């Protein structure tokens, strides 16, 4: 998976600005960066939901935006994406949720699909809950059902957008262990966005910091933790004084005023 000089603007706002990024086969990259900096926008470029203004996105050497629409669909199926909160269909059972991509994109029989669903639930440590409704599950369980659906089609690249946000530390630990097990058994490449550095260090081969429209820093977790780079230190210590401003000073002033006089 390779992004070369990717640039993307919305109106006058440039979010990605000549961004380069390579993820090798089987490698796990964790992306960190301030809210609103463009992490989700970057992921949407990786999976082909957004088209860059300029630059290229290559999957296994194929340019996502030079191939036919049919081939683009084929390339997109190499990804398994897990959204925040699992993004499950509440009107379907857990089993139907996981079966959804299988019925849609494969010619598997009912029995084969049921077997694969059971296998995926096993892998996320939730065996036998096919008949349950998503609404009956806790946040951590929903997240893991989302993973099960993301791996149903045996993706080569797994994408996690904030897999542990809003979970307590123990449930977070379970989710991290599940991600590790999935990676050990399926050996996919993985790109994970998280604000939780403990999570990042638990699952990353490399940590990239997104800032100013580029991957500014690209290090091993250990290098990241020990880095003297002020932008990294701001992240590791959570010191906002060290960090670049999140919003322009004018907007920040307005936001502070609005907070004071709601
Ligand atoms: N479809 C769109 N149209 C216009 N602007 C957009 C669109 N998608 C994202 N943006 C803008 O791009 C910027 C980056 O958004 P993005 O969602 O990637 O941030 P993020 O780093 O994922 O933040 P968070 O950590 O809060 O999830 C924001 O200013 C957002 O308003
Ligand atoms: Mg985001």
Each residue of 53-107: pLDDT tens digit?
999 999 999 999 999 999 999 999 899 988 765 589 999 999 999 999 999 989 9
Helices (H), the chain: 39-46, 69-76, 94-105, 110-123, 139-151, 169-186, 197-203, 221-226, 230-237, 249-260
Q: Give domain status of residue 56, yes or no.
A: no
Task: Indicate the residue among 116, 136, 154 that finishes a domain.
Answer: 154
Does one domain contain both 164 and 247?
yes
Does one domain contain both 96 and 188?
no
Ligand 1: residue of 37, 41, 161, 192 to mutate (most ligand atoms within 8 A of CB) is 41
Pocket of ligand 1 (CB under 6 A): 10, 15, 33, 35-41
CA 37–ligand 1 middle distance (angstroms)? 7
Ligand 1: residue of 39, 53, 194 to mutate (most ligand atoms within 8 A of CB) is 39
Please give the model's pTM, rounded to 2 decimal places.
Answer: 0.85
Give residue 90's domain range. Answer: 85-154
Output the CA angle 244-246-250, nearest 5 degrees.
105
Q: Give domain status of residue 215, yes or no.
A: yes
As for how many domains the chain has, the answer is 2
């Amino acid at each position: 998976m390779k992004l070369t000089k990717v640039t993307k603007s919305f109106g006058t706002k440039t979010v990605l600005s000549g961004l380069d990024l390579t993820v090798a086969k089987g490698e796990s990259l964790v992306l960190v960066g301030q809210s609103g900096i463009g992490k989700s926008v970057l992921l949407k470029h990786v999976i082909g939901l957004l088209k860059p203004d300029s630059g290229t996105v290559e999957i296994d050497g194929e340019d996502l935006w030079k191939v036919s629409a049919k081939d683009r669909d084929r390339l997109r199926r190499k990804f398994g994406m897990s959204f925040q909160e699992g993004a499950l269909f509440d009107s379907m059972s857990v089993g139907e949720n996981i079966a959804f991509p299988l019925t849609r994109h494969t010619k598997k029989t009912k029995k084969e699909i049921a077997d694969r669903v059971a296998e995926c639930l096993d892998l996320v440590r939730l065996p036998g809950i096919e008949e349950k409704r998503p609404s009956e599950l806790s946040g951590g369980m929903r997240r893991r059902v989302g993973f099960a659906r993301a791996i149903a089609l045996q993706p080569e690249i797994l994408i996690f957008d904030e897999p542990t946000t809003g979970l307590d530390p123990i449930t977070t630990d379970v989710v991290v262990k599940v991600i590790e097990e999935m990676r050990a058994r399926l050996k996919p490449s993985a790109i994970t966005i998280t604000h939780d550095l403990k999570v990042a260090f638990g699952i990353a081969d490399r940590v990239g910091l997104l800032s100013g429209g580029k991957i500014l820093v690209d290090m091993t977790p250990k290098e990241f933790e020990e880095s003297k780079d002020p932008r990294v230190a701001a992240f590791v210590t959570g010191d906002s004084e060290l960090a670049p401003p999140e919003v322009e000073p004018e907007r920040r002033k307005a936001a502070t005023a609005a907070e004071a006089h709601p």
